[in-house]
Amino acid sequence: MRVALAIAAAALLTAASATAAGGERMHLRIGSKRFTESYILAEIAAAIARGTDPDLDVSHEQGLGGTALVYRALKEGSIDAYPEYTGTIAEAVLHVPGRADVAGLRSALAREGVGITDPLGFENTYGIAVAAKFALGRHLETISDLAAQAGMKLGFSHEFLGRSDGFPALAARYGIPTAHVQALDHGLAYEALARGAIDVTDVYSTDAQIERYKLKVLDDDRGFFPSYQAVFLYREDASRRMPAAIRAIAGLAGAIDNRTMIRLNARAEVDNRTFVSVAAEFLQSRAGGGERTAELRPSLGRGILDTVRNEGPRHVRLVVLSVLLATLVGIPLGVWARWTRNAGRFVLAATSVVQTVPSLALLCFFIPLFGTGPIAALAALFLYALLPITRNTVAGLDAIPPALRESAAALGLGRWAQLFRVELPLASRTILAGIRTSAVISVGTATLAAFIGAGGFGAPISTGLDLDDTRLILEGAIPAALLALLVEGLFAVLDRTIIPRGLRLGDGGRAGE
Amino acid sequence: MIAMVGVAKRYGDKFAVAPTTLHVADRRSLALVGPSGCGKSTILRLVLGLLAPDAGSVRVGGVSVTPATVISIRRRIGYVIQDGGLFPHLSAHDNVALLARRLQWPSGRISARVDELAALVGLDSTTLRRYPAELSGGQRQRVGIMRALMLDPELLLMDEPMGALDPIVRARLQQDLKHIFSGLGKTVLLVTHSLDEAAYLGDEVVLMREGRVVQRGTLRELVDAPAEPFVREFVEAQRAPCA
């Protein structure tokens, strides 16, 4: 959830920067949540909106996060529209119990200045699935049919078995015998079903794997599962400013049924097509156009190069700026902490506490202060980088032998001359080691900046995590790891060039370590 | 040159220096001896203003040591500690020249003065280009003495300057120091635990114990007319191995 929040924040950030660059042209921003279906629907809406007016700027703010964040982005105007589900709106946005109908949601949302389209034609809810052949052989159409069967091997995900509105309630409603139910990982359930190890499992009703494994989702004839019909939410003011675009998106109502959505999900997840090309494919077939070869995703090596080119400068900028700022603040802070013992202990304790806050939480903490984007990310990275530098400054000054400190004073050097001519040079090696630690940590932590929309190597990682796409994760992780190694190397060189040679000899050299 | 009147310094409820009055005349050398913890190093720190006395006053060259005067007083004092107290990040030369550079001496004057001092302590310019970690103990001590003499101070304070040296190096340095003291006419306050060294380098010896002065005089006076039994004990303990 925290990750989801962070991602949403990231999307908000890009939205904000887009606003600044927008100028006079109208700009429609479509948001999405962090899963394949949401990405595809957002791309479809973006393509449709573009078709209404060539002068309209349309952007897709990808994978902003979970419901709370994306809805907030919509209400605050960071985005103008995004795909959502009726059940989610009722439960997570409006907090109204029971099955939601679109008319009821529409009037409730109108009070918040938000419009809702008619249902797009498919539902993404929990479903009960069996192999298509198995259903044919046993004449299974509905869950009631299933309950009438004997000797079925049931295998459900841990979550579905554990939720109070999951399998226990379903079994009670339909009278399904609950003995011999196997708990298994959701990812393994499809394979288990294909190999006949189980006969029945729970699925999301538009899951790409339904097509891949030729499954049949049984009809929920007693209306047990809540209704999660897909719709688009949009800002009322956006529909006033760009009526044609919003009307075109609303025109998607009834255009995407469950089978179509499953196929589109499978095109992206199973066939590795880009979201843009899956959306284009859908629109062409909808317009009655011929099949078009969708573009395949580039190779891993190519993907890494693209990441380095597109995200590298932003990542490096975040790291350099945060470490530079932390150095400019951290060294004086460390000196001050050393001079004023009590205040110093407080400063160190405070920076240590910051260090224990999970990075994502810290990133999210800054969203209300700085919004999403590079400023919030910079603030969080700066705080993280601060501790190693401050602590090493204090440690480096502490490690100076009292005799040397006294020699500097007895020589007749003033307080500042003692600091700049003797103490800081003597502590320089330890301080540099602290800056190195900060820089390496910062390279890693900066990948999280993508979750609040600051971009960087974390951008493919966050998308990859959402889509469970290892290759995409590697496209971000490998450049980040290489950058960390580069930073280590750079500091090894700095240690040899800027540290006074006398400190690297004999005991003097180790005193600072 | 140094006038300490009723000076006391305590740590907690223990006196490091009990109320003590001590005068050192111009161009005289005085050696403070006594067992560890007798307060002899504390006396030097009080003179340098590194410690503030709890009672009494310290004057150096007629100027009272206060936070306002302490920097200028320290620049009139050369301070040498065990193993030289050199800054490891600076070469020997830069250690010696550090303060003169701070005071913006012209570089010609600095190098002339460094050359002069190098000749005085018997070091060559190659050695001065080295870092402290590359020098022997005796060389470090000689560089420390050069640094202390750089501004040509009237007063030299030395705290166990020979403490880290082996006997042969120590003997040679003792001779050189005696030569330097007499040649330059400095006022010297030397702290040592060795009575022989004190007698060799000091015109007078001050024997301290538990923060107070037990007896002041020449070695002869301490031996012939000990002020209290401790003086004889201390003298005999130091003489014993040689007897």
- Given this model, what pLDDT does residue A507 score? 46
Look up the CATH superfamily of A2-123+228-286: Periplasmic binding protein-like II (3.40.190.10)
| Whole-number Å distance between alpha carbons of B144 and B92 | 9
For A112, list phi and psi in degrees, rounded to 5. -100, 5
CB-nearest to A404 from B50, B87, B99 is B87
| Whole-number Å distance between alpha carbons of A317 and A356 | 25
Neighbours of A148 (CB within 10 A): 12
Q: Do A411 and B99 touch (CB under 8 A)?
A: yes
Average pLDDT, chain B: 91
| Whole-number Å distance between alpha carbons of A260 and B137 | 86
The fold for domain A126-218 equals D-Maltodextrin-Binding Protein; domain 2 (3.40.190)
Neighbours of A164 (CB within 10 A): 7
- Given this model, what pLDDT does residue A295 score? 53
Give the torsion through C-alpha atoms of A92, A97, A98, A104, to 10 deg.
Answer: -80
Q: And the tokens for B194?
A: 């060795």
Residue B125's nearest CA partner among B117, B203, B102 is B117
Domain boundaries, chain B: 1-76+178-243, 82-152
Residue A365's nearest CA partner among A67, A74, A35, A353 is A353
Q: Calculate the alpha carbon distances from A309 to A7, A315, A456 in Å.
A: 22, 11, 10
DSSP structure string for A204-272? ETT-HHHHHTTEEEEB-TT--SPP-BEEEEEEHHHHHHSHHHHHHHHTTTT---HHHHHHHHHHHHTS-
- Given this model, what pLDDT does residue A164 score? 66
CB-nearest to A426 from B74, B79, B89 is B89
Neighbours of B161 (CB within 10 A): 27
Neighbours of B238 (CB within 10 A): 16
Residue A412 in contact with partner chain B when CB distance is under 8 A? yes
pLDDT tens figures, A200-259? 998 888 888 888 888 888 888 888 888 888 999 999 999 888 888 999 999 898 889 888
Nearest residue in B to A428, CA atom: B89
Residue A505 in contact with partner chain B when CB distance is under 8 A? yes
Q: Calculate the alpha carbon distances from A325 to A317, A321, A380, A457 in Å.
A: 12, 6, 12, 21
Task: Provide CB contacts within 8 A for B52, sequence distance 6+.
Answer: none
CATH number of A300-511: 1.10.3720.10
- Given this model, what pLDDT does residue A509 score? 39
Residue B107's nearest CA partner among B120, B119, B94 is B94
In terms of C-beta density within 10 A (0-12 exposed, 13-18 middle, 19 or more buried), how is residue A408 classed?
buried
Q: Do B89 and A502 touch (CB under 8 A)?
A: yes
CB A426 within 8 A of CB A511: yes
Domain boundaries, chain A: 2-123+228-286, 126-218, 300-511
Residues of B in contact with A406 (CB under 8 A): 45, 50, 81, 85
- Given this model, what pLDDT does residue A269 score? 81
b/e per residue B86-120 (b: at least 16 CB within 10 A)? bbbbbbbbbbbbbbbeeeebeeeebeebbeebbeb
Q: Do A508 and B88 touch (CB under 8 A)?
A: yes
Beta strands per DSSP E along A459-510: none
Beta partners for residue B113, in sequence order = none
Q: And the tokens for A166?
A: 């999951």
| Whole-number Å distance between alpha carbons of A446 and A455 | 9
pLDDT tens figures, A439-488? 999 999 898 887 776 778 988 887 777 666 788 889 899 999 999 999 99
| Whole-number Å distance between alpha carbons of A235 and A113 | 6
DSSP code, position A203: E
CB B79 within 8 A of CB B148: yes
Confidence of residue B242 (pLDDT cuts 50, 70, 90): very low
DSSP structure string for A33-73? ESSHHHHHHHHHHHHHHHHH-TT-EEEEEEEEESHHHHHHH
pLDDT tens figures, A127-152? 899 988 888 888 888 888 888 887 78
pLDDT tens figures, B153-191? 999 999 998 877 888 888 888 888 888 888 888 999 999
DSSP structure string for B69-112? THHHHHTTEEEEEGGGG--TTS-HHHHHHHHHHHTT--HHHHHH
Q: And the tokens for B242?
A: 């040689």
| Whole-number Å distance between alpha carbons of A491 and B146 | 36
Residue A416 in contact with partner chain B when CB distance is under 8 A? no
| Whole-number Å distance between alpha carbons of A33 and A61 | 9
Residue with tokens 């400095």: B186
Q: Do A403 and B147 touch (CB under 8 A)?
A: no
Q: What is the ipTM of this complex?
A: 0.90
Closest CA of chain B from A21, distance in Å = 51
Residues of A in contact with B98 (CB under 8 A): 411, 413, 421
Q: What percent of chain A has pLDDT over 70?
A: 89
CB-nearest to A410 from B48, B131, B151 is B48
Between A159 and A193, residue with greater pLDDT: A193
Of A179-183, A505-509, B174-178, the range with the lowest mean pLDDT is: A505-509
Residues of B in contact with A413 (CB under 8 A): 98-99, 102
Residue A508 in contact with partner chain B when CB distance is under 8 A? yes
Residue B141 in contact with partner chain A when CB distance is under 8 A? no
Order of all β-strands in the sheet with A57-65: A57-65, A27-33, A81-85, A230-235, A114-116
Average pLDDT, chain A: 83
Q: Calculate the alpha carbon distances from A436 to A319, A320, A335, B57, B86 in Å.
A: 11, 11, 19, 49, 28
Same fold, A126-218 and A300-511: no
Q: Do A502 and B99 touch (CB under 8 A)?
A: no
Q: Do A505 and B131 touch (CB under 8 A)?
A: yes
Q: Which H or E run contains B56?
A: strand B55-60
DSSP code, position A299: P
The model's pTM? 0.66
Residues of A in contact with B151 (CB under 8 A): 412
Residue A408 in contact with partner chain B when CB distance is under 8 A? yes
pLDDT tens figures, A55-93? 888 888 887 777 888 888 898 888 999 999 988 888 778
Residue type for A202, please? Answer: D
Beta partners for residue A182, in sequence order = A155
CB B220 within 8 A of CB B208: no
- Given this model, what pLDDT does residue A369 score? 77
Q: Do B131 and A403 touch (CB under 8 A)?
A: no
Residue A410 in contact with partner chain B when CB distance is under 8 A? yes
Give CA angle at A404 (A398, A409), nearest 5°.
Answer: 100
Residues of B in contact with A421 (CB under 8 A): 98, 102
- Given this model, what pLDDT does residue A20 score? 42
The fold for domain B1-76+178-243 equals Rossmann fold (3.40.50)
Closest CA of chain A from B226, distance in Å = 35
Beta partners for residue B80, in sequence order = B158
CB A186 within 8 A of CB A232: no
- Given this model, what pLDDT does residue A33 score? 87
Residue with tokens 């800056």: A435
Between A158 and A113, residue with greater pLDDT: A113
Q: Please, how many CA atoms are within 13 Å of residue A502, restricted to the half-sphere of its CB?
A: 22
Residue B79's nearest CA partner among B31, B45, B109 is B45
Residue B200 in contact with partner chain A when CB distance is under 8 A? no
Closest CA of chain B from A345, distance in Å = 24
DSSP H helices, A251-400, are 258-269, 275-286, 300-339, 341-356, 359-365, 367-370, 374-398
CB-nearest to B102 from A406, A417, A503 is A417
Residues of B in contact with A501 (CB under 8 A): 131
Q: Calculate the alpha carbon distances from B166 to A118, A128, B120, B144 in Å.
A: 96, 90, 21, 17
Q: And the tokens for A504?
A: 């690297």
